[in-house]
């Protein structure tokens, strides 16, 4: 399976906005449209991408790269990661997460941080299986996980 991260454009934006997670998952993640608006508001650090598998859009992800942030341990965040509900359970999430990790490595990140609610068990299992570890920190009501890349 070939995974690609492709920037959002006028050509693929509507398709990306139509991707959804299940109702049970919706309490954990904003819509792709809301996430894209947040990216525009944080254009200096946000990097939004559509996730493609073998040429078909399957999901959305957004990162924060803040190289100017004073704490080098807090510069790189995985802000959003979703696979469309109709395509979950087919290996796209695992493969896409590996591509996301490769992107961070290729762009000089020393680690990746993310946060989610403790009740988001499926996502936490996937992140932990990929090597993310709990930091003991909280980001509001969410636990923080980190993957060391060095």
pLDDT value, residue 72: 66
pLDDT digits (tens, 9 = 90+) for 13-57: 999 999 999 999 999 999 999 999 999 999 999 999 999 999 999
Name the nearest CA neighbour of 130 among 80, 96, 89, 82: 96
Question: What is the residue whose two structure tokens read 């570890």?
Answer: 133
**Mean of pLDDT over the chain:** 94
What is the arithmetic mean of pLDDT over 6-19?
A: 96
Tell me, yes or no, if the pTM score tops 0.85: yes
Angle at 9 between CA 46 and CA 7, to 5 degrees: 45
Domain boundaries, the chain: 3-148
Q: What is the pLDDT of residue 58?
A: 98
The residue written with tokens 């992800």 in the block is 61
Dihedral sign for Cα atoms in the order 120, 126, 129, 131 = negative
Q: Does domain 3-148 have CATH number 3.40.630.30?
A: yes
């Amino acid at each position: 399976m070939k995974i690609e991260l492709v920037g959002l454009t006028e050509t693929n934006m509507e398709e990306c906005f139509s991707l959804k997670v299940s109702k049970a998952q919706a309490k954990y993640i904003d819509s792709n449209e809301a996430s894209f608006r947040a990216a525009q508001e944080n254009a200096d650090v946000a990097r939004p991408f559509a996730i493609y598998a073998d040429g078909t859009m399957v999901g959305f992800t957004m990162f924060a790269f803040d190289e100017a942030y004073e704490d080098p341990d807090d510069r790189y965040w995985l802000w959003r990661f979703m696979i469309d509900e109709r395509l979950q359970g087919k290996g796209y999430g695992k493969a896409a997460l590996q591509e996301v990790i490769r992107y961070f490595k290729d762009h000089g990140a020393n680690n990746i941080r993310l946060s989610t609610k403790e009740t988001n068990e499926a996502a936490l299992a996937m992140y932990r299986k990929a090597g993310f570890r709990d930091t003991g920190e909280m980001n509001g009501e969410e636990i923080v996980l980190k993957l060391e890349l060095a």
